[in-house]
């Protein structure tokens, strides 16, 4: 299981954990894997707090940070907190972490009316007066990314990842000056080629099975295609990977490790809404759908009444990113709150980003146990292969 990537990053197992939850990041790193904190939704202050906490927990073991770095990121650029239209992965974040909020923004009347009618039909109550409604803003301005990077570079991070287009030269230089590995998520071989040309050190080939924003090519096909395209740059496989047997398959395809997101959502440490966690544990691999309904871009999530309603003939087309997130953020907040309290309409609507691997996620476990089980299963498969060769 030891690959070149393990040596490069100083890890025992090439198992990468993308999570918005610092507890998951710390747990996976402590277990010998590599935790990556999804930080685009953090304010610089919140990121500082979380990274200081992780530093304390992991005691020098390596971890990384995932940011949405706009293609026009430039550390020396003047401030302009304008949201960019991001072409790739980004998830909606809590309102208190938003840096590009647009208070009082007006949405097309038809969109607002559709949403209001939906919430009424499913009997989702208003938020109590004391709770501020989520603005659902995405922190993707060049200045916001630059501020977050400054905070991240103040900590002993070993990797910075981005899911947008190729990273700007300035970022690659800054990272390399500090010995920080630059990683990038891709959904096609062409994207991988562009990332390689920009000087990225580690490519994450993410197949359509993945939770969150995702393309249309399966992990099984994408990984060997990307490995062949960018050799000798190391590649991690992502999308649908939940077990050690799948990890063994990914390594057989030429990957040097796996990058997982969904599997951590049902761990003990994850802050996933309990009602959504319950749905995930019960879901099969057929229960996800690529939908634009949360962000405006196709993202894989649990299929629910929410995604079905947005597919219906009455539904308006989703707004472009980041407007769809802003439009739906407070509705999502109401739904999750009500579902958590047992509201039946809200429970029908509740959804969250998750990949097809959800069909293999059937119990709540500590993140450390997920890592250990993956390693054990991987070894069992490897031994099985070796035994077959000896016959």
Ligand X SMILES: Cc1cc2nc3c(=O)[nH]c(=O)nc-3n(C[C@H](O)[C@H](O)[C@H](O)COP(=O)(O)O)c2cc1C
* Contact residues for ligand X, defined by CB under 6 A: 18, 38, 40, 66, 89-91, 163, 185, 206, 209-212, 238-241, 259-263, 353-355, 357
Return the ∠ at Cα 216 (arms to 200 and 292), rounded to 5°: 100
What is the rounded CA–CA span in Å between residue 195 and residue 185? 9
Which lies closer to ligand X via its Cβ, residue 143 or residue 356? 356
> Is residue 173 classed as helix, strand or coil in its secondary structure?
helix
Work out the burial of residue 187: count CB atoms within 10 Å of its CB; fewer than 13 is exposed, 13-18 middle, 19 or more buried: buried
Supply the minimum distance, in Å, between the C-beta of residue 227 and ligand X: 17
Cβ-closest position to ligand X: 261
Query: Please, which residue, 114 or 323, has the CB nearer to ligand X?
Result: 323
Shortest separation between residue 232's beta carbon and ligand X, angstroms: 22
Across 309-324, b (16+ Cβ under 10 Å) vs e yields bbeeeebeebbebbbb
Contact in structure between 64 and 183 (CB atoms under 8 Å):
yes
Judged by beta carbon, residue 229 or residue 272, the one nearer ligand X is 272
Please state the closest distance from residue 113 (CB atom) to ligand X, in A: 29
**The 299-302 sheet, strands edge to edge:** 212-213, 299-302, 288-291
Nearer to ligand X, 345 or 355 (CB): 355
Q: Say what angle helices 142-153 and 44-58 make with each other, to 10 degrees.
A: 30
Task: Please report the sign of the dihedral spanned by the C-alpha atoms of residue 286, residue 93, residue 202, residue 373.
Answer: negative
- Tell me the closest approach of the beta carbon of residue 72 to ligand X, in angstroms: 18
Q: Which is nearer to ligand X, 107 or 225 (CB)?
A: 225
Q: Tokens 């009997």 map to which residue?
A: 123
Q: E strands of the chain, at which residues?
A: 15-19, 34-38, 63-67, 159-162, 181-186, 202-206, 212-213, 235-238, 258-260, 288-291, 299-302
Both structure tokens of 301:
């999530």
Is 212 or 343 the residue whose CB approaches ligand X more closely? 212
Q: CB of residue 126 vs ligand X: minimum separation in angstroms?
A: 26
Question: For residues 221 and 204, what is the distance between their CA atoms, to the nearest angstrom?
Answer: 14
Rank residues 115 and 370 by Cβ distance to ligand X and give the closer one: 370
């Amino acid at each position: 299981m030891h690959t070149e990537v393990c040596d490069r990053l100083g890890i025992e197992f090439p198992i990468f954990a993308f999570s918005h939850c610092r507890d998951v990041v710390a747990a996976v790193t402590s277990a010998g894997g590599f935790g990556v904190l999804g930080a685009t939704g953090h304010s610089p202050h919140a990121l500082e707090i979380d990274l200081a906490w992780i530093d304390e927990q992991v005691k020098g073991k390596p971890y990384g940070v995932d940011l949405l770095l706009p293609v026009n990121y430039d550390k020396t650029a003047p401030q302009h907190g304008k949201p960019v239209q991001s072409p790739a992965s980004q998830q909606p974040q809590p309102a208190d972490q938003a840096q590009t909020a647009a208070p009082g923004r007006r949405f097309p009347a038809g969109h607002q009316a559709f949403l209001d009618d939906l919430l009424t039909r499913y009997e989702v109550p208003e938020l109590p007066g004391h709770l501020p409604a989520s603005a659902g803003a995405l922190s993707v301005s060049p200045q916001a990314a630059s501020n977050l990077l400054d905070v991240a570079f103040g900590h002993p991070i070993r990797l910075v990842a981005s899911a947008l287009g190729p990273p700007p030269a300035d970022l690659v230089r800054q990272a390399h000056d500090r010995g920080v590995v630059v990683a990038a998520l891709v959904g096609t071989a062409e994207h991988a080629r562009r990332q390689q040309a920009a000087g990225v050190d580690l490519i994450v080939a993410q197949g359509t099975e993945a939770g969150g924003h995702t393309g249309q090519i399966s992990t099984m096909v994408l990984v060997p295609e990307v490995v062949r395209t960018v050799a000798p740059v190391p590649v991690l496989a992502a999308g649908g990977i939940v077990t050690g047997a799948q990890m063994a398959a990914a390594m057989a395809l030429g990957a040097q490790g796996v990058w997982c997101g969904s599997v951590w959502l049902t761990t003990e440490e994850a802050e996933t809404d309990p009602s959504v966690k319950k749905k995930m544990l019960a879901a099969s691999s057929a229960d996800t759908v690529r939908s634009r309904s949360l962000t405006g871009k196709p993202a894989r999530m649990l299929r629910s009444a929410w995604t079905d309603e947005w597919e219906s003939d009455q539904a308006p087309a989703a707004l472009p990113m980041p407007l769809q997130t802003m439009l739906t953020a407070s509705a999502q907040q109401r739904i999750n709150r009500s579902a958590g309290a047992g509201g039946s309409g809200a429970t029908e609507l509740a959804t969250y980003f998750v990949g097809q691997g959800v069909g293999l996620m059937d119990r709540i476990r500590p993140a450390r146990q997920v890592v250990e089980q993956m390693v054990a299963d991987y070894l069992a498969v490897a031994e099985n292969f070796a035994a077959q060769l000896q016959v």
